[in-house]
Chains A and B, each alone.
Chain A
C-alpha cells in the first residue's frame, strides 16, 4: 500500500512569491491534515479536513494561506505571498476515520529567501 505522497520535496522561492504544496493521502483515508514544522520543533496543525470539509482551520493564517481538498482526496496548500518566516517543513498526514493513528508524508521543505 502506498503511503502519503507529497510534492515537491523541496522548494526554494523568494519572498512575496506564491507557492503550492500537494498531498495525496492513503487510499480510503477520509481525514487529511496539514502541519507546519519549524526547525527543532514538533509539527503544528494548520488545517484538518474530513472528506472535503475543513473542520479545523483555526490555526491557518488565512491572510496568506489557503487550502483545498477537492473531491475529498488530494489536497493543495498554498501560500501567497510567502514571507521569510514561512520557511519550514510542511507535512501532510492522513487518517482512517475510525483510527487514532495518523500517517505522515515525507514533507515539503520550503526555503523563503
Chain B
C-alpha cells in the first residue's frame, strides 16, 4: 500500500524557475527520503531527512519536514531541463524498516 500522497501529480515549469513538490504521509516516521526516476530508469536517492530535522539542503535541493502535519516538501531551485523526471517521497516508519513510496510527481522543465 502507498504511504505518501504527493502533490501535484504533474508540474510543468520553465528552465530557471523553482519547482516545489509536496508529500503527505500517514504514520509516525523515522525518516523521509526523496528519490528521482528518469523515464525508463531506476530510482536515484536525492536526500534524506530524519524525524528530528526540520530542513535540509543539498546543492539546489531543499527539503523540509513538518512532523506535526505529517508532510514534507522538496524544492528544486533554478531548475534545468535535466531535472525532468518523476520525484518520489518515501518514508521509513518508526516501527519498522520498510521504505514505503508515494505515487510521485512528474516534473517537466521546459528549455
Contacts and interface: CB of A to CB of B under 8 A. Distances in A.
Interface stretch (B38-46, B53-61, B73-81): B38-46
Q: How large is the interface on B (under 10, 10 to 19, 20 to 34, 35 or more residues)?
A: 20 to 34
Given A40-B103, A41-B103, A43-B101, A102 B45 contact: yes
- Of B4, B41, B102, most buried by chain A (CB within 10 Å of CB) is B41
Interface in A66-84: none
B31 A106 contact: no
Q: State the main secondary structure of chain B at its contact with A.
A: strand
A101 interface: yes
A100 B35 CA distance: 13
B63 interface: no
A85 interface: no
Contacts of B40: 106, 109
Interface of A: 4, 33, 40-45, 48, 56, 91, 93, 100-107, 109
